[in-house]
Chain A
Amino acid sequence: MSNRTAAPRKLDLSLIWKVFGTAFFVYLFFGFMLIPCLNTLSQVFTANPDDPLAVIKFFFAGNMPSFVWNSLKLAIALVVTVNVVGVSIVLLTEYFDIKGARILRLGYMTTLIYSGVALVTGYLFLYDNDGIITTWLVRLFPDIDKSWFSGFNAVWFTMTFACTSNHALFLRNAIRGIDYNTVEAARNMGAGPFKVLLKVVFPTLIPTMFSLTVMTFITGLCAMSAPTLLGFDSINPEIVRLAGSSTADEAFPQARAALLSIILAIFTIVLLAILSAYERKGHYLSVSKTKAKLVKQKINNPVANVLAHIYAYVLWIIYMTPVAMIVLFAFQNHSATSLKTPSLDSFTLVNFIGTQDYEYMTSRGKLRTRVGSISGVFSNADTIGGIKTSFILSAIAAALACVIVVVAVNYIFKHKNKLRATVLEYSLLFPWLLPTILICYSYRIFFNSDDVWYVFNQNLYYRENVRLLIIIAYTVVKLPFALRMIKASFYAIDEELEDAAKNLGASGLRTFMQVKLPIILPSVLAVFALNFNALFTEYDMGATFHSSYGKTYAMVIQNMTHEEGRDGYNVNATGRRNASTVFIMCVSGAILYLVYGVGARDLGERLEARRRWRERMKRMKNLKYVDTAAKWAIRIVRYHNRS
């Protein structure tokens, strides 16, 4: 007996779709996930035909293990500090009653609107050799080492604050989900606030904390933009360097890069296996039917209360200073930015739009003018090119990932508990097991050839083709995240809705388009927005595929860090970099607002908003007193003129 419709099977459109869909997913999995990565794996053992283990021997004989150790050191250090800061910011804004919690929360969440290379350059602007804070510190303490902000400590510091976005999102939700009745019960039984925190609140947060710890560890291990820009030898930057190197310079560069990628993949797989094993154990859940909303806890001890406030605002200052400085200096001219002395007189929009000439004195004492050397983000061909490239590639890839996943998840839900659905799901989760850099490196090596038959013998790393390769890489890398999020949204669809549509005569496609898709659309748009935001300033893949035909926005921003003022060119690179970061913040902020603010409204709320808007317009039209007031104003003016 089967729980299915009684429709007789016949050769129809749905069968063609099935065949086409199966072919597509097989092509995607084997062609762009498995084969390129297996090729990378084989490189390690085929680099030296005489000795398959030559690369491994060479690897351990040289200084390569130090890169692995550095990455591990960074990951372990980050797990400690990110958790301390992440838990602190969530407790300070959601659990304890701290004055000005809303403003604090806004500050702590700034990492959601700018991250990656934009954030690192922001920190550089503050703490670099000639950074604002370093300059001010040098003025105060002349003996201080100007290059203090580099290497491991700089990366550790920057990433500690950059990686708390997940805590701000997920741990906040977890703490909000705590049933306040359990806190009250503990208090009623005589437990103090800190005992309640340790014995009642923390145990419920452990599953989320564990997931966040694993994710932080992987982030630390796979760090790319911070180590590259702040000068720290870790795995990812080394892979990119080796991938661009040739055998003339050093031994087995590609094979060593492949081996590093594989080591990274092994770490990731082990960690994710631990995570999923832990997730399968189950979670602590409140069993009450009526949950009470968490009420913020007052810190009764006055000393502890003051210390908590000081700690909260110090953290807030650390989060907000780069943002404030970036915004401030994005509107300052070149000289104010160089001297780190902002003023109203130096206000300019040239970092955003327009060009200016730059006058400078040569070594022979001649005054020279470089025409159009100062240019804004939207007037600089290089920057605008980067924005265009990143915008188009990110939008296409984010949309593609959503479309592929929506189709796949619809199929998975239709064929629950069937082997083919499970296979499809795991194949789409496959890229999650591999570090981004391994996928990109594999693409770069494997598709840099005319011999790949299933891409019609086209070299995808050649000239404009690289853009297609970037789109494919972006899409593949974002598939697991899209799958997890969109699959969760499919659970919200009541199965009876599908039955109802079927009963009313709707076909499968119609049911999907008119019933299911509108329900999951807010989540799909949210995934699209998050993926787009992440890809728009994405650095790792951009750096791996870097070429003049595929120069992404992140690479343009990175270039701005070391080209300023050379021979009078790109004089305002720092200003433009700040303006770029402001632009990224605006784009990300707007997208997040549209998706989570406007897009999250249900039909009822939208209809209500429309009704209110119509009423307001009606009232505006009926405002006769505006006419009357205008007439009286004219009369008064005339009267005054006469008198």
Chain B
Amino acid sequence: MNVHNQSPAPQDSQPAMINLKDIVVRFGDFEALHNINVEVKEGEFFTFLGPSGCGKTTTLRTITGFIEPAGGCVMVGGEDITHVPIEKRNIGIVFQSYALFPTMTVYDNIAFGLRVKKKLRESLRTFRKWVVKQEGLKLSHLVWGWNWKKKWRLFRYFVRWMKGWDPEVDERVREIARKVDLSDEQLQKAVSQLSGGQQQRVAIARALVTGPAIICMDEPLSNLDAKLRVGLRNELKKMQRDFGITTIYVTHDQEEALTLSDRIAVFNNGYIEQIGTPNEVYNHSATEFVCNFIGDINRIEATTAARMGLPEGEHHFVRLERLRVNQPVREDETVFTGRVLSSEYYGLYIKYFVEVDTQVFKVIEKNDGVSIYAAGETVSIGIARADVMSYPAEAMTVDAVTHAQ
């Protein structure tokens, strides 16, 4: 599959598909979610990002109906579904472990939801119509008449139907399988015979086959190795664009969140610290936590901050790639002289650890093959004031952040 560019964020004018209002979830005395408010637009790829135990999966499970909130409501398409049973919410889920039924073939896994939803009488009617149309047979041929060849053919079809085969289901399963790049041969395999990536596609196909309004994915790439994860990330985004389905994605991987999402909600200790586009979250982090959690960062120590003329009583941070090594001085830039302590070679770029007075800065430099600095070498480091992100030293309480939102 080709790599596609990130789709533009849905417009504000678009209607809200999911609306979480003041969601509170408690497990015994422990409050896992505190007044969560989220609005997800139709067709949006929305990510819940945060460290382990921050409440992102709990929020997802509240939306899907596995957890009943102690307070607040879940609205989908303007309807309150807080107390609607799981199976009636029309929300597809891709689980972390994929949760593919190991005793069924790929085909049966995908067809499961359709078979469950189809009533027996309706299925028999479809089957009867199909037999008449395709084979010119009537179910009565099973009993009446002496054409044993016909009887045998009909009997075999009937046995197939008894095992769960249905012409409409079959058509839908094959259609969705084509869309997620699963061949007919793969459909007949057991899930254990597929690779991790193929299993993920089966899980997505199974979640999409019943035509849900929303699809929720709970860390679906976490079981895969790094290389496959990058490949599938692009496929996932393409599928979401092709189907145009509203997607909620849970991950603790910031890179995944930044590359896939239209918007991100950063969770911490059961609160949402910030909701915004990847650019907003990365370059204009609302809180110190978000700033530290997303990407690698340098904290500017008080003495260095004073030399830069940064206000006291605040914590100052600057991203690694914003530091400029041995470059001509810019207007609002403060230049420091430091010594390279060590470096890490990543191929595309090189990470340097530069000692400036008492502080060690981490710096990322594009690997142009020419300007490579050895340990012990003296370099100049330029930091622009505009690139510095500052937060009050007395950290803003998370309640206050939520309130501000």
Q: What are 15 A-B residue pairs whose CB atoms fall within 8 Å in the complex?
A: A1-B69, A3-B27, A5-B65, A5-B86, A6-B86, A7-B85, A503-B91, A505-B87, A519-B102, A519-B103, A602-B102, A602-B103, A604-B191, A604-B192, A607-B193
Q: Do A603 and B104 touch (CB < 8 A)?
A: yes
A49 to chain B: which residues have CB within 8 Å? none
CB distance from B161 to the nearest CB of A (A): 16
The stretch of B110-118, B122-130, B316-324 that contacts the partner chain: B110-118
The reply to whether A603 and B105 contact each other, CB–CB distance below 8 Å, is yes
A26–B27 alpha-carbon span in the complex (Å)? 32
Instruction: Flag if B95 contacts A502 (CB, 8 Å).
Output: no
Interface string of A594-618 (1 = CB under 8 A from B): 0000000011101110000000000
B93 within 8 A of A: yes
Q: Bound state CA distance, A4 and B66, in angstroms?
A: 6
- Chain B 63-105 near chain A by CB (<8 Å), digits 1 or 0: 0111111100000000000111111000111011101011111
Would you give the shortest CB distance from B186 to chain A, in whole angstroms? 12
Distance from A419 Cβ to chain B, minimum over Cβ atoms (Å): 17
List of B residues within 8 angstroms of A515 by Cβ: 101, 103
A494 near B: Cβ within 8 Å? yes
For residue B287, which residues in chain A have a CB less than 8 angstroms away from its CB? none
A190 to chain B: which residues have CB within 8 Å? none
Q: In the complex, given contacts A3-B66, A504-B87, A604-B189, what are 14 additional A-B residue pairs having Cβ atoms less than 8 angstroms apart?
A: A1-B68, A6-B82, A7-B85, A496-B95, A502-B87, A503-B87, A510-B116, A514-B101, A514-B104, A602-B102, A602-B103, A603-B190, A603-B192, A604-B191
Determine if B91 and A607 form an interchain contact, defined as CB atoms under 8 angstroms apart: no
Whether B35 sits at the interface, judged by CB under 8 Å, is no
A-B pairs with lowest CB-CB distance, top 5: A518-B103, A504-B113, A1-B26, A604-B190, A496-B99
- B199 in the interface (beta carbon within 8 A): no
Q: Is the CB of B116 within 8 A of A504?
A: yes
A500 sits at the interface (CB 8 A): yes
- Give the A interface residue count (CB, 8 A): 31
Contacts of A500 in B (CB 8 A): 93, 95, 99, 101, 206
Neighbouring B residues of A8 by C-beta, 8 Å: 83, 85
B248 CB–A CB distance under 8 Å: no
Residues of B within 8 A of A518 (CB): 101, 103-104
Say whether B25 faces chain A, with CB atoms less than 8 Å apart: yes
Find chain B residues with CB under 8 A from A496 CB.
95-97, 99
Assess whether B268 is interfacial by the CB under 8 Å rule: no
Please report the C-alpha to C-alpha distance between residue A606 and residue B188 in the assembled complex, in whole angstroms: 12
Segment 491-526 of A: residues with Cβ below 8 Å from B: 494, 496-497, 499-506, 510, 514-515, 518-519, 521
Give the chain A neighbours of B103 by CB distance below 8 A.
Answer: 515, 518-519, 521, 602-603
A362 contacts the other chain (Cβ, under 8 Å)?
Answer: no
Contact among B28, B67, B69, B116 for A505, CB-based, below 8 A: B116
Interface centre among B91, B103, B206, B210 (most CB of A within 10 A): B103
Q: Quick check: A3 and B102 within 8 Å, CB to CB?
A: no
Question: Which chain B residues have a beta carbon within 8 Å of chain A's beta carbons?
Answer: 25-28, 64-70, 82-87, 91-93, 95-97, 99, 101-105, 112-113, 116-117, 188-193, 206, 210
Give every chain A residue within 8 A of B92 (Cβ-Cβ): 503
With both chains docked as a complex, state the minimum distance between the C-beta of B214 and any C-beta of chain A, in angstroms: 12
Residues from chain A with Cβ under 8 Å of B101 in the complex: 497, 500-501, 514-515, 518
Quick check: B99 and A499 within 8 Å, CB to CB?
yes
Q: Which label, helix, strand, loop or mixed, suits the secondary structure of the A interface?
A: helix
Any chain B CB within 8 A of the CB of A2?
yes
- Of B25, B64, B104, B191, the contact of A503 (CB 8 Å cutoff): B64
Taking a contact as CB atoms closer than 8 A, the residue among A3, A502, A604 that contacts B86 in the complex is A502
Which A residues touch B113, using CB under 8 A? 504-505
Assembly CA distance A1 to B68 (angstroms): 7
Q: What's the Cα separation between A420 and B64 when bound, in Å?
A: 29
Contacts of B66 in A (CB 8 A): 3, 5, 499
* Bound Cα distance A109, B104 (Å): 35
Complex CA distance for A499 and B99, rounded to whole angstroms: 8
A536 to chain B, nearest CB (A): 29
Residues of A within 8 A of B67 (CB): 1, 3
Q: Which of B68, B104, B210 gathers the greatest number of chain A CB atoms within 10 Å?
A: B68
CA distance A497 to B103 in the complex (A): 11
Chain A residues whose C-beta falls within 8 Å of the C-beta of B91 in the assembled complex: 503
CA distance A6 to B105 in the complex (A): 31
- A522 CB to closest chain B CB (Å) equals 10
- Given that A494-B97, A499-B95 are known contacts, is A2 also in contact with B68, CB under 8 Å in the complex? yes
Nearest A residue to B94 via CB reads A500
CA distance A500 to B112 in the complex (A): 10
Cα–Cα distance between A515 and B70 once the two chains are bound (Å): 31
Beta-carbon contact of A504 and B206 below 8 Å: yes
Inter-chain contact B112/A504, CB cutoff 8 Å: yes
Convert A470-497 into 0s and 1s, putting 1 for each residue whose CB lies closer than 8 angstroms to a CB of B: 0000000000000000000000001011
Nearest-CB distance from A605 to chain B (Å)? Answer: 8
Closest to B188 in A: A607
Q: How far, in Å, is B340 (CB) from chain A's closest CB?
A: 36
Residues 1-47 of A contacting B (Cβ, < 8 Å): 1-8
Give the contacts of A600-643 with B (CB-CB under 8 A): 602-604, 606-608
Cα–Cα, bound, A581→B26 (Å): 63
State A503–B95 Cα separation when bound (angstroms): 11
Partner pick for B116 among A4, A506, A519, A604, CB 8 A cutoff: A506
* B65–A494 touching, CB < 8 Å: no
Cα separation A4 to B99 with both chains bound (whole Å): 19
What string of 1s and 0s marks CB contacts (under 8 Å) between A296-323 and chain B? 0000000000000000000000000000
**Option from A5, A499, A501, A519 in Cβ contact (under 8 Å) with B85:** A5
A494 and B101 CA atoms in complex are apart in Å by 10
Q: How far is the CB of A490 from chain B (nearest CB, A)?
A: 14
Which A residues touch B26, using CB under 8 A? Answer: 1
For A604, what are the chain B residues with a Cβ–Cβ distance below 8 Å?
189-193
